[in-house]
């Protein structure tokens, strides 16, 4: 199997994840009581985005 093609399928899935994750995160932030949004959530979202990006780069190269 061509690894590039699998990489592109994975890329589409990453895009899907980001498209769903961002509105969900915004919604979570909007509906959270003031001052209760944990710092770890921001860090986890940032880490997840960076990891997804690195894995995508690994998959297409």
Partner 1 sequence: MQTTGPIVRTHESALATNKVLRNTYMLLAMTLLFCAATAGVSMLFDLGRGVGTMAFFASFAIIMFVLPKVENSSAGIWAVFAFTGLLGLAIGPTVQHYLNYPNGSQIVATAMGGTGTIFLGLSAYVLTTRKDFSFMGGFLFVGFLVAVVAMIANIFLQIPVLSVALSAVIVLIMSGFILFDTSRIITGGETNYVRATVSLFLNIYNIFQGLLMLVGMGGDD
Residue 54 found at the interface with partner 1 (CB under 8 A): no
3-31 vs 39-60: helix crossing angle, rounded to 10: 170
Stretch that binds partner 1, among 19-27, 28-36, 37-45 (CB under 8 A): 19-27
Size of the site for partner 1 (CB under 8 A): 27
29 touches 37 (CB < 8 A): yes
| Least distance to partner 1, CB of residue 22, Å | 6
Residue 17 found at the interface with partner 1 (CB under 8 A): yes
56 touches 14 (CB < 8 A): yes
């Amino acid at each position: 199997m061509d690894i590039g093609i699998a990489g592109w399928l994975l890329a589409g899935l990453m895009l899907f994840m980001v498209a769903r994750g961002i509105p969900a995160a915004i919604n979570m932030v909007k509906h959270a009581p003031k001052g209760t949004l944990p710092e770890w959530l921001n860090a986890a979202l940032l880490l997840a985005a960076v990891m997804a990006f690195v894995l995508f780069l690994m998959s297409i190269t």
